[in-house]
């Protein structure tokens, strides 16, 4: 995480708190600590190989370019316009490669399990449209994370393949002009099912 990033995000939020509802100002980035491992079952993926925690499951939901509104928990599409869906093993390979992506967790709960090395941007999946205050704050935060490089790979995730928050956040990044946006559909559930390194966001006990 860039030096001063957490301070910057809080400063931006403080200014916007004067003008916008608190629900639109939940974005913040916090370092993750305390490794945690879990093991789960594998599922057969289309075309061979294995996926985890329903990351390949097809509920027959059509992709949309519009932000999903509440409820945010529910079956998601297999595809996302303007971005690429990442399965667990492909994400693992990317993180081990020379061009590591920025991992962005958009869940809201404090103290939850997340992917090791992820930046926590709580609230980035909320909001009504691409012209709202959430978009404005997220654009600034992504600019800090990427150093202004819109070709930097960004991976958005939340709880599972039944969480729309990361889908929404990925759409927001696409709308902001980022060209290498990835949606880790399986999210935390798939990552922990694969027994890969995790951490906890701030605020846990």
**Full DSSP string of 6-65:** HHHHHHHHHHHHTTS-GGGG-------EEEE--B--EEEPTTSSEEETTTT----PPP-S
pLDDT band at 161 (very low <50, low <70, confident <90, very high): very high
pLDDT at 202: 83
Query: In whole angstroms, what is the distance from residue 154 CA to residue 64 CA?
Result: 20
Residue 92 CA to residue 164 CA, distance in Å, equals: 22
Given this model, what pLDDT does residue 36 score? Answer: 27
- Name the pTM for this structure: 0.79
pLDDT for the residue numbered 125: 97
DSSP state, residue 101: P
- Whole-number Å distance between alpha carbons of 117 and 1: 9
The answer on pLDDT for 143 being more than 80 is yes
- Mean pLDDT of all residues in the chain? 82
Please report, rounded to a whole number, the percentage of residues in the chain having pLDDT higher than 70. 74
CATH no. for 5-200: 3.40.250.10
């Amino acid at each position: 995480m860039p030096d001063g990033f957490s301070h910057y995000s809080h400063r931006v939020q403080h200014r916007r708190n004067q003008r916008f509802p608190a629900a639109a100002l939940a974005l913040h980035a916090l370092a993750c600590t305390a490794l945690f491992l879990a093991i789960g079952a594998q599922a057969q993926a289309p075309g061979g190989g294995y996926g985890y925690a329903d990351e390949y499951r097809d509920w027959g939901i059509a992709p949309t370019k519009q932000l999903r509104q509440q409820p945010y928990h529910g079956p998601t599409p297999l595809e996302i316009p303007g971005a690429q869906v990442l399965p667990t093993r492909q994400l693992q390979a990317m993180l081990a490669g020379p061009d590591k992506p920025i991992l962005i967790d958009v869940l809201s709960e404090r103290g939850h399990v997340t992917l090791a090395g992820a930046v926590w941007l709580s609230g980035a999946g909320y909001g009504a449209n691409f012209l709202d205050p959430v978009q404005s704050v997220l654009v600034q935060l992504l600019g800090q994370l990427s150093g202004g490089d819109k070709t930097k790979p960004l991976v958005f995730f939340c709880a599972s393949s039944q969480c729309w928050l990361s889908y929404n956040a990925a759409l927001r990044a696409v709308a902001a002009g980022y060209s290498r946006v990835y949606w880790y559909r399986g999210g935390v559930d798939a990552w922990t099912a694969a027994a890969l390194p995790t951490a906890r966001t701030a605020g846990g006990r």
